[in-house]
Chains A and B, each alone.
Chain A
């Protein structure tokens, strides 16, 4: 299965991923309503993306009292807006701060059903949509380069 992987060291903080997400899902440009969020602070000098990791055993599913959140056969964790009562338990429970609560809306990434719009607007590959094994292989290759250079 393909997942979204983030590379904060490459993130420039432009927020186009968040704006594109809100535009696609809600028809408005609003980075605060993106299912992917970029926290940036130029004074503390960081840019960091937050997005649902589609956990195997999601905490959000476990805490949802009305069973509005389910993990589908395709591995994507989705919220059913018809069932959601907006209690924000999932927001609290998510260990990665990856669910957005904004103005009464609970916003969570559903990978656009396999065609995530956000990645199309990243100019530095700080956000990639890849098979997990490919991603691990890429990281290992990077690590190998570093190790070999050191020796």
Chain B
């Protein structure tokens, strides 16, 4: 065991190899005093730093601060799997406090799945525990000489030997950590991460995932099994009574919404039926756009044992299922259900429990499996390549076997583990049949051919085809009065979901507020405009911040955070070779009209899309080529 004393003293330390340091006192200080730990795994050097208040005021925490460090610290032109890549764990600004649903942290790097921005947002209990352990951000660089894990506790950081933990799946390794180390919270990778599957995810708890863009793969590439946190350092609040009052008021407001009891009893599966009726459910690799009713929330409910929460959350949208896991979420229902032509809900739940345990991203895994099934059916790949495995939709046994093979990189699974990079071998070099943007398979179940704001959103998202950057769910609320819609989005919005006209405002507005709430570490589930036209808006965010710290944070300050994050992400991507051409959609959404239900006949017109992209860039303040303008770059570079 290597360990060193650094109890919240700022400085750089070379690790003395025989020193064991323990602490038995717990300190209390403000969230503004939480440290940044930079861990050089190759040199076994650790640096603990303070973070300036001016930087926090500009980007708060979570995703925003991660982007800042990634943009400033990551060298250009490196291989994502090389030791030069960084892996940044950043807690949300309000994580660990009474602020509702403030359980979230972001993990960021350059993505091994896309080669562009890698960033993932995750709930559970790790973020709060990391704060209680004295840190709000850890940056891992280099590569450990042998399998290791990071242990943080009350201001100390250790790099420990992962002997006995390496090789375990995500559930077993977490149980082992709990058995050996007590009531710790941890974020780990499974065997998929160890084996460098490009879409391996991070896991904390049974189902909470830092799923997207392959952050588990980066963890594996650094020889790190997990980050384990334990801490008792309370977060001192500037105005405790104000925070108690504000959160109580906010709780009553959140729980008085019609949607809250539904979210709290069935969780995200409530979205399935709404989307399915419209013809907005990705089915059989988007050859179809609707499926049967077996995946409706009322069916999912039959498998629910108990609804549970992440840290500090009133919504309790997580299901503990009767098949030994948690979930499924709406995403798993489709990506490991309808998209694979699965008929039985039970097969889908079993498959997502398996994917979760192995540490694979549900969205990517399901999309790649559907992709190769269609390629096989079209004769583009054959038994020789698959090693004799016959691929067909609704074949649970084969998919389950393949998922296992992917995580171990065995046979055909080794090819699939490369994700989009295997396109050449699969004779689909231009990804004509792969539902991806910027190399990232689409995250959510939504077939975007009808709801055009969704289409523009996944096309322009900074991490690839992803709904959690901008999902404009209000587009589904057909009964929302136009004046309410216009007020929310701050522009005259066309009332027709099938048009791209004016949707640039919808997407940009959503991107900004979602980025802000990601910085605060609060869940999008209670974000204004995500599931409800109500919920936590900029005013609530500002109020919560001003109870926690003595900043007198203003309305304009909170509104400037989101655009800043988006621009930094754009700059990061541009420096990695991204161009306007990458802001596009899967070929199928352009060229094949949706065949079923309300969406029937709808597709995205290429010319209309190009015009919408022009307008979107204008709203974002970018050039017609999607570049950030020079004065803005100078402004962002001056942030410190």
Contacts and interface: CB of A to CB of B under 8 A. Distances in A.
Contacts of B178: 41, 43
Given A28-B28, A41-B178, A14 B132 contact: no
Interface stretch (A60-68, A84-92, A116-124): A116-124
Contact of B308 (A12, A19, A22, A27): A12
A9 interface: yes
Interface in B223-266: 232-237, 240, 243-244, 247-248, 251, 255, 264
A12 to B, nearest CB: 4
A23 B237 contact: yes
B98 A27 contact: no
Contact of A12 (B28, B232, B309): B309
Nearest to A120: B248
Given A29-B234, A43-B174, A103-B232, A16 B206 contact: no
A28 B237 contact: yes
Interface string B297-325: 00000000111111111111000100000
Interface in A16-36: 16, 19-20, 22-24, 26-33
Given A41-B178, A121-B247, A14 B316 contact: yes
A20 B98 contact: yes
Taking each of A19, A22, A43, A124, which has the highest tally of chain B beta carbons within 10 Å of its own beta carbon? Answer: A19
A117 B255 CA distance: 18
Interface residues of B, number: 44
Given A23-B237, A102-B232, A29 B96 contact: yes
B171 interface: yes
Contacts of B100: 16
A123 to B, nearest CB: 4
A58 interface: no
Contact of A22 (B171, B175, B233, B234): B234
Interface string B154-183: 000000000000000001001100100000
B312 A42 contact: no
B54 interface: no
B552 interface: no
B556 interface: no
B306 to A, nearest CB: 7
B28 A117 contact: no
A45 interface: yes
B26 interface: yes
Contacts of B128: 31
Given A14-B310, A29-B98, A43-B206, A20 B234 contact: no
Given A14-B316, A23-B237, A29-B237, A121 B98 contact: yes
B583 interface: no
B97 A13 contact: no
B52 interface: no
A33 B27 CA distance: 12
A33 B316 contact: no
B27 to A, nearest CB: 9
A30 B255 contact: no
B113 interface: no
Contact of B312 (A16, A30, A33, A104): A16
A41 B237 CA distance: 28
Contacts of B216: none
A135 interface: no
A29 B251 contact: no
B26 A103 contact: yes
Contacts of A108: none
Contact of A30 (B232, B247, B309): B232
Interface string A94-105: 000000001110
A27 B255 CA distance: 26
Nearest to A124: B316
A47 interface: yes
Interface string B21-32: 000111010000
Given A14-B309, A16-B100, A123-B315, 20 more contacts: A13-B309, A14-B313, A15-B311, A19-B312, A23-B237, A24-B240, A27-B236, A27-B240, A29-B237, A31-B128, A32-B232, A33-B234, A42-B320, A42-B326, A43-B174, A43-B206, A103-B26, A121-B251, A123-B264, A124-B316
Interface of B: 24-26, 28, 96-98, 100, 128, 132, 171, 174-175, 178, 205-206, 232-237, 240, 243-244, 247-248, 251, 255, 264, 305-316, 320, 326
